[in-house]
Homo-oligomer: A and B are copies of this chain.
Amino acid sequence: MLVIMKRERIESPAVETRAPGRPRSEEAHDAILGAAVALIREVGYDAVTMEGIAAKAGVGKATVYRRWKEKETLVIEAIGRIVAAIPIPDTGGAEGDLMALMRAALGMYADPASGLLLSGLVAAMARSERIAHAVRTGFDATWRAAVRQVLERAVARGELRAGLDIRLATDVIGGPLFYRYLMSGGPVDEPLAREIVSILLRAFAREGGG
Contacts and interface: CB of A to CB of B under 8 A. Distances in A.
B171 A186 contact: yes
A140 B184 contact: yes
A127 interface: yes
A198 to B, nearest CB: 8
A140 B174 CA distance: 19
Interface residues of A, number: 46
A44 interface: yes
Contact of A123 (B1, B46, B132, B140): B46
B168 A195 contact: yes
Interface string A120-145: 10110111000010011000100010
Interface stretch (A49-57, A153-161, A175-183): A175-183
Interface stretch (A5-13, A29-37, A89-97, A111-119): A111-119
A89 to B, nearest CB: 21
B176 A144 contact: no
Contact of A127 (B44, B167, B174): B44
A199 B192 contact: no
A12 to B, nearest CB: 21
A165 interface: yes
Interface of A: 1-2, 44-46, 115-116, 118-120, 122-123, 125-127, 132, 135-136, 140, 144, 165, 167-168, 170-172, 174-180, 182-186, 192, 195-196, 198-200, 202-203
16 contacts: A2-B183, A44-B123, A44-B127, A45-B123, A116-B126, A119-B125, A119-B126, A125-B183, A132-B185, A168-B192, A171-B179, A174-B175, A175-B177, A175-B178, A178-B179, A202-B202
Listed from nearest, the 9 A-B pairs whose CB atoms lie closest are A119-B126, A175-B175, A175-B179, A175-B176, A123-B123, A171-B176, A199-B203, A178-B179, A119-B123
